[in-house]
Chain A
Amino acid sequence: MSDNTYNDIFSAFRGDEGDLIAILLRIQEKFGYISEDAVKHTAQFLRLSENQIYGVASFYSKFRFTEPGTTSIKVCMGTACHVHGGKFLADAVSWKLGVSIGQVTGDRRFDFQRVNCLGCCALAPVVKINDRVHARMMVTGLEEILSRRE
């Protein structure tokens, strides 16, 4: 991630404080997460402190600060999914991969997140693996999918 990549991103902005969120979004789009390096560059560009930027960014659950794993697993814990046993699915992932919510496996292959409603409650409980939503998921089914990917 050279300085140039950042400069490309920054070139679209004037450098006002108000640009912060937009810049962070662009960075996350580009790199998948907000690295310490990115915070540092943004701080220099906007003349804010790294602490202020982290403070703002960490308020939004949208931003992540660790490099994502290759396969993203998002278990829905919204009301409908929760009622339909979303928690069991989350536990199953934890057991299987040995990581808890918000973590990435040591080999960086799996990335485990929870979400609050994917907008398809009728299909609850749902798990989103990469871009695909798996409906009416059950622990056994989920384990099978994960095994296939391992």
Chain B
Amino acid sequence: MSQNGSTIAVTIDNRSFDVTKGITILQAAEQNDVYIPTLCAHGDLSPHGGCRMCIVEVEGMRNLPTACTTPVENGMIIRTHTAQLQTMRMEILQLFMSEHTSSCLICDEKVECKRFMVTVRKASVTTGCRYCPNDGQCEFQDVAEKLGVTEIKYPIYYRGMRVETDDPFYDRDYNLCILCGRCVRMCQEVRIANVLAFKNRGRQTMVGPAYGRTHFEAGCEFCGACVSVCPTGTLREKTRAWEGKPDREEVTTCSFCGVGCQVRLLVKGNRIIGSLPADDSLVNEGQLCVKGRFCGTELANGPLRLKNPYRVEGETKAEISWETAISLAADKLSSCAPGDFGMLISPNCCNEDLYVAQKFVRVAMRSHRIDTSARFFYGSGLNAYTNLLTMSVPLSALQKASTILCVGLDSRFARSVVGVALRRASKRGAKIITIHPRHHNLAMIADKWLQPLPGEETGLLESLAKLTADARETNETRARSQSTDANHDQDLASIADLLRHAEAPVILVGSEFLQYDTSASILDAIARIAQNIKAGVLPLPSHNNFHGSIVMGAYSELLPGGLARAKGAQLPLQWGVEPPADNSCWSAASLSDKERMKTLYLIGEIPYSWEPNADFLIFQNIYPPDGFCHADLVLPAAAFAEVDGSFINGEGRTQLVRKAVDAPGGALPDWQILCRIAQKMGLSGFDFSSVESIREEISQVAKNLGRFTEITREPIPLPFAGERFVIKPKSAVDSRRSEDYPYLLTISAVEHSHRGFPLSNWVEGSKMLLTEGVLEINPEDAKKAGIARGDEVVVTSVHFEKVLPARLVREQSPGTLHASLREYTYFNPNPQPVRIRRQECSG
């Protein structure tokens, strides 16, 4: 019967099949549509053989093997549904049920309950259904039903454990756990995060982190992968409880960072009820980080979402119609001279929005005054960072690299999918070197962690650049001649050797140093190291569409295609307009110098660091301004899940954004609002009917991009290196410590923001994970200053004074402090010498 070398013949339930050699009985059955009940088996995980639901009879085998762990053999005769098997399975299931609060599965009310609650899994030891997450995906229930279990004959032994609700995003009720180990295998095998383990034994066996730690304390990344595979209601999403099954799914691109993961948005009615990783082999390979997995849903559904335009006059807010709002905006903008106008648009917006916005500024406002917050975020390193984007390699490069250098990267919460790829690389033997001044999750897997003090990182990277430059001299001698710290130099020399001899090395660039005053030289040194060792560089931009903002020309210096005006690029002929009267370059940085504008137009941007100085401020966003400034006209925009469009990720991949639901109330996509205003101003060239028509124009206007009519997801690095942006050089400042200011404070931008807002504004769970406005301090330093955890600390420098709560971090270098702030641009220079004292409570 056997066909050839790769297939073998088996008989399952009296039917013969040819199946691939080496697969398990379970896989053979599944491939041929034979149902075998399972609980612990899962397609993405290694076989476990723990639940014994999948027992089968195999002729010639004495006992009943588990189908999920037994490989098929030629000529095997397998029976999956004999009376004996069914009885045994029912027994096993009842044993499970006797230990787990699942009497609901056999409850009399089951039929009714199911009709109204979608799933009957709940702890009916209590009369209410408050334990039932009602998400309609209980495999335990399915199996119970298929086997027809309607009563439990064993004594009931429930464990009565407290439901664990202390962690954000998901709860855990281990009373419902059947110890199938799927979550453990997911966390250990796939994510390699190793947060979950089986602990204790016998009846006390439980799943969880060490001691009684919370997931947060145990290093969990809140990727939610364990929640997705749990076959019972043990692990459940806080916000998805009671939502039931989704009606449909929409695959789109995550909009929370430049990795650009593919996500499946779960839609019920006109609501996003959750998001899961898409099965995508190019970018995220079925993984997501906490932002893509959990934050999007809450962000999209917030009750405070803007629904209708409103006007603010004095103290009063008055809702107005779109008609009125558009007229008002058109009026104000028509009467505004090109030099009195400015627009800030978020690099979180789609390419299509960015294109229309810059066209609007140039055609309707006759100006080049458009900018994004990336200008502040990258500061003096803006050119150097975009230069790295021209060298970018695909994420898949991590699979081949023998050495990976990570600079300023922390992948615990942001970009955790890259962290997974790194841990996989480390597992297969790749060397991981990480350069980071603070505690970060890569320290766990790194072969070497270089921890430069603030101010030292440029020197460190430059030495590495020198050491990797020239292979002839032995590195040891060179290093010794350069500095005095012998140990450190040894390290550097051996790292340089490792890098020089690495196969297909990759350099990953995170965000840690980007707000430093010296970021330009740090990033330049990275570029040089990359050239020296022929490494691929993978900058992981914080803003999901930073690349897009450049090639769409959303900056004063650049036109569509990313072409520099300074190098002679002209307005596209297709627009049919004269070049703007005001030809100067403008940077939003001048806003903080209290430049007064007549009209300032903010699209998805919020300058937290200063009060915008404008006669008329148009605020277009998905949430209302959170009290940072006075907006005169507020326009409701549609959010990521409510628009069609495209983003370009850090690898240079153009990826589609797909509309999953309608925007709340009257909210409109950014490009539509702009087009309506332009049309009201009497302009032609803004009659786009869809994002496709915008993409068509982009293809014609920016021929060098040549990929906008058909989006292929091909990674294309940013075209051409060189100075793109005009950057005001930083005046050299003295950032050395002194007796009066004995600590060095570094400030980072709040990275987890979307359309200007820190996620923690609108996503409850992210408050705990993605902290901002906290002073990180070494415990020894804290002790010296009489500061305990949570104390309010007054931080004083020559330039400012600020009060921040303290967090003690063992890994923080002594003498240094750190804080992530939304108003980060205000704190110059960075790093900055400061002194600290505990704030005394008054009154």
Residue B800 lies at the interface, judged by CB distance under 8 Å to chain A: no
Residue B162 lies at the interface, judged by CB distance under 8 Å to chain A: no
A51 and B200 contact, CB distance less than 8 A:
no
Chain A neighbourhood of B200, CB < 8 A = 58-59
Give A49's nearest chain B residue, CB to CB: B194
A51 and B198 contact, CB distance less than 8 A:
no
In the complex the two chains form, what is the Cα distance from A82 to B838 in whole Å? 60
B445 and A52 contact, CB distance less than 8 A:
no
Residue B444 lies at the interface, judged by CB distance under 8 Å to chain A: yes
Could you mark each residue 29-53 of chain A with 1 if its beta carbon is under 8 Å from any beta carbon of chain B, else 0? 0000000100100000001111111
- The 21 listed contacts between A and B (C-beta, < 8 Å) are A36-B211, A39-B210, A47-B444, A49-B194, A49-B197, A49-B218, A50-B209, A50-B210, A51-B195, A51-B196, A51-B197, A51-B210, A51-B218, A52-B188, A52-B197, A54-B209, A55-B198, A55-B210, A59-B198, A59-B200, A65-B211
In the complex the two chains form, what is the Cα distance from A132 to B445 in whole Å? 47
In the complex the two chains form, what is the Cα distance from A59 to B207 in whole Å? 12
Interface size on A, residues (CB 8 A): 16
Residue B199 lies at the interface, judged by CB distance under 8 Å to chain A: yes
Chain A neighbourhood of B445, CB < 8 A = 47
Main secondary structure of the interface of A (DSSP, over half): helix
Q: Chain A nearest CB: distance from B34 CB in Å?
A: 35
Chain A neighbourhood of B201, CB < 8 A = 58-59, 61
Of A49, A51, A52, chain B has the most CB atoms within 10 Å of the CB of A51
A54 and B444 contact, CB distance less than 8 A:
no
In the complex the two chains form, what is the Cα distance from A36 to B212 in whole Å? 12
In the complex the two chains form, what is the Cα distance from A36 to B219 in whole Å? 15
In the complex the two chains form, what is the Cα distance from A55 to B195 in whole Å? 10
Could you mark each residue 184-223 of chain B with 1 if its beta carbon is under 8 Å from any beta carbon of chain A, else 0? 0000100001111111110000001111010000110000
In the complex the two chains form, what is the Cα distance from A58 to B211 in whole Å? 9
Interface residues of B in 157-199 (CB under 8 A from A): 188, 193-199
Q: Chain B nearest CB: distance from A12 CB in Å?
A: 22
In the complex the two chains form, what is the Cα distance from A47 to B201 in whole Å? 24
A53 in complex: contacting residue of B210, B213, B219, B444, CB < 8 Å: B210
In the complex the two chains form, what is the Cα distance from A77 to B445 in whole Å? 45
Interface residues of B in 92-128 (CB under 8 A from A): none
In the complex the two chains form, what is the Cα distance from A48 to B209 in whole Å? 13
A58 and B199 contact, CB distance less than 8 A:
yes
Interface size on B, residues (CB 8 A): 19
In the complex the two chains form, what is the Cα distance from A56 to B199 in whole Å? 7
B211 and A55 contact, CB distance less than 8 A:
no
In the complex the two chains form, what is the Cα distance from A11 to B199 in whole Å? 28
Q: Chain A nearest CB: distance from B587 CB in Å?
A: 46
In the complex the two chains form, what is the Cα distance from A52 to B210 in whole Å? 7
Chain A neighbourhood of B199, CB < 8 A = 54-55, 58-59
Q: Which 8 A-B pairs have the closest CB atoms?
A: A55-B197, A54-B210, A49-B194, A51-B209, A58-B199, A50-B210, A51-B210, A55-B199
In the complex the two chains form, what is the Cα distance from A54 to B184 in whole Å? 14
Given A55-B197, A58-B199, A49:B219 Cβ within 8 A:
yes
A50 and B444 contact, CB distance less than 8 A:
no
Q: Chain B nearest CB: distance from A103 CB in Å?
A: 16
Chain B neighbourhood of A55, CB < 8 A = 197-199, 210
A52 in complex: contacting residue of B194, B211, B213, CB < 8 Å: B194
Interface residues of A in 46-88 (CB under 8 A from B): 47-56, 58-59, 61, 65
In the complex the two chains form, what is the Cα distance from A59 to B201 in whole Å? 5
Interface residues of B in 378-408 (CB under 8 A from A): none
Chain B neighbourhood of A47, CB < 8 A = 444-445
In the complex the two chains form, what is the Cα distance from A59 to B210 in whole Å? 12
A50 and B218 contact, CB distance less than 8 A:
yes
Give B446's nearest chain A residue, CB to CB: A47
Chain A neighbourhood of B198, CB < 8 A = 55, 59
In the complex the two chains form, what is the Cα distance from A47 to B423 in whole Å? 12
Q: A50-B218, A51-B195, A55-B210 are in contact. List 17 more A-B contacts (CB 8 A).
A: A47-B445, A48-B194, A49-B194, A49-B218, A49-B219, A50-B210, A51-B209, A51-B219, A53-B210, A54-B197, A54-B210, A54-B211, A55-B199, A56-B197, A58-B200, A59-B200, A65-B211
In the complex the two chains form, what is the Cα distance from A65 to B210 in whole Å? 11
Chain B neighbourhood of A52, CB < 8 A = 188, 194, 197
Q: Chain B nearest CB: distance from A93 CB in Å?
A: 21
Q: Chain A nearest CB: distance from B199 CB in Å?
A: 4
Chain B neighbourhood of A53, CB < 8 A = 210
In the complex the two chains form, what is the Cα distance from A51 to B184 in whole Å? 11
Of A48, A50, A56, chain B has the most CB atoms within 10 Å of the CB of A50
In the complex the two chains form, what is the Cα distance from A65 to B213 in whole Å? 14
In the complex the two chains form, what is the Cα distance from A48 to B197 in whole Å? 12
Q: Chain A nearest CB: distance from B489 CB in Å?
A: 24
Q: Chain B nearest CB: distance from A126 CB in Å?
A: 23
In the complex the two chains form, what is the Cα distance from A52 to B185 in whole Å? 12
In the complex the two chains form, what is the Cα distance from A54 to B219 in whole Å? 14
Q: Chain B nearest CB: distance from A145 CB in Å?
A: 30
Chain A neighbourhood of B211, CB < 8 A = 36, 54, 65
Give B205's nearest chain A residue, CB to CB: A59
Give B197's nearest chain A residue, CB to CB: A55
Q: Chain A nearest CB: distance from B478 CB in Å?
A: 31
Q: Chain B nearest CB: distance from A86 CB in Å?
A: 19
Chain B neighbourhood of A54, CB < 8 A = 197, 199, 209-211
Give A40's nearest chain B residue, CB to CB: B210
Q: Chain A nearest CB: distance from B716 CB in Å?
A: 38
In the complex the two chains form, what is the Cα distance from A51 to B207 in whole Å? 10
Chain B neighbourhood of A59, CB < 8 A = 198-201
In the complex the two chains form, what is the Cα distance from A54 to B211 in whole Å? 7
In the complex the two chains form, what is the Cα distance from A39 to B194 in whole Å? 14
Q: Chain B nearest CB: distance from A43 CB in Å?
A: 9
Q: Chain B nearest CB: distance from A123 CB in Å?
A: 27
In the complex the two chains form, what is the Cα distance from A48 to B444 in whole Å? 9
Give B426's nearest chain A residue, CB to CB: A47
Q: Chain A nearest CB: distance from B195 CB in Å?
A: 6
In the complex the two chains form, what is the Cα distance from A56 to B444 in whole Å? 19
Q: Chain A nearest CB: distance from B347 CB in Å?
A: 36
In the complex the two chains form, what is the Cα distance from A49 to B213 in whole Å? 13
Interface residues of B in 340-394 (CB under 8 A from A): none
In the complex the two chains form, what is the Cα distance from A61 to B201 in whole Å? 9
In the complex the two chains form, what is the Cα distance from A61 to B198 in whole Å? 14
In the complex the two chains form, what is the Cα distance from A59 to B206 in whole Å? 10
Q: Chain B nearest CB: distance from A140 CB in Å?
A: 33
Of B208, B209, B210, B219, chain A has the most CB atoms within 10 Å of the CB of B210
In the complex the two chains form, what is the Cα distance from A56 to B200 in whole Å? 8
Chain A neighbourhood of B444, CB < 8 A = 47, 49
Q: Chain A nearest CB: distance from B221 CB in Å?
A: 12
Give B218's nearest chain A residue, CB to CB: A51
Q: Chain A nearest CB: distance from B627 CB in Å?
A: 41
Q: Chain A nearest CB: distance from B162 CB in Å?
A: 19
Chain A neighbourhood of B188, CB < 8 A = 52
Chain A neighbourhood of B197, CB < 8 A = 49, 51-52, 54-56
In the complex the two chains form, what is the Cα distance from A51 to B206 in whole Å? 12
Chain B neighbourhood of A58, CB < 8 A = 199-201
Q: Chain B nearest CB: distance from A60 CB in Å?
A: 8
Q: Chain A nearest CB: distance from B650 CB in Å?
A: 28
Interface residues of B in 298-322 (CB under 8 A from A): none
Give B201's nearest chain A residue, CB to CB: A59
In the complex the two chains form, what is the Cα distance from A48 to B198 in whole Å? 14
Chain B neighbourhood of A36, CB < 8 A = 210-211
In the complex the two chains form, what is the Cα distance from A59 to B205 in whole Å? 8
Give B192's nearest chain A residue, CB to CB: A49
Chain A neighbourhood of B209, CB < 8 A = 50-51, 54
Q: Chain B nearest CB: distance from A90 CB in Å?
A: 18
In the complex the two chains form, what is the Cα distance from A56 to B219 in whole Å? 18
Chain B neighbourhood of A49, CB < 8 A = 193-195, 197, 218-219, 444
Q: Chain B nearest CB: distance from A2 CB in Å?
A: 16
Q: Chain A nearest CB: distance from B457 CB in Å?
A: 24
In the complex the two chains form, what is the Cα distance from A50 to B218 in whole Å? 8
Give B220's nearest chain A residue, CB to CB: A51
Q: Chain A nearest CB: distance from B433 CB in Å?
A: 15
